[in-house]
Amino acid sequence: MNDRETRRVLTTEDLTYLAEQARALDPYVIHPWDHDRLWAAVLAAQMSATTRAEREAVAEARGALQILDAIERHFARRDG
């Protein structure tokens, strides 16, 4: 058995669930999972952040997205 045969595979629904559990992503629309739209929303929030608290909240959201990106890259099912 090779690594691909034993590795767990996540679906889009799994990624949506993980993103919904991340408190840092609460201000953003997550369902359904759309990687590009979620990143665009967080980066737009970063551009409009004016206070330190807003910038810190966006930084936490970016960190959560980076973790989700790594999870998606290594565990998500690729159809096609």
Q: Render pLDDT for 6-17 as a digit per residue (tens, 0 to 9).
A: 567 888 889 899
Instruction: Summarize pLDDT for 15-55 with one digit per residue, the tens.
Output: 899 999 999 999 998 888 888 999 999 999 999 999 999 99
The residues with which 76 forms a beta bridge, in sequence order, are: 10
pLDDT of residue 25: 94
Report H helices in the chain: 3-6, 12-21, 35-48, 52-75
The two tokens of residue 23 are 């408190």
Which residues share a beta bridge with 10?
A: 76
CA pair distance 59, 42, nearest whole angstrom: 9
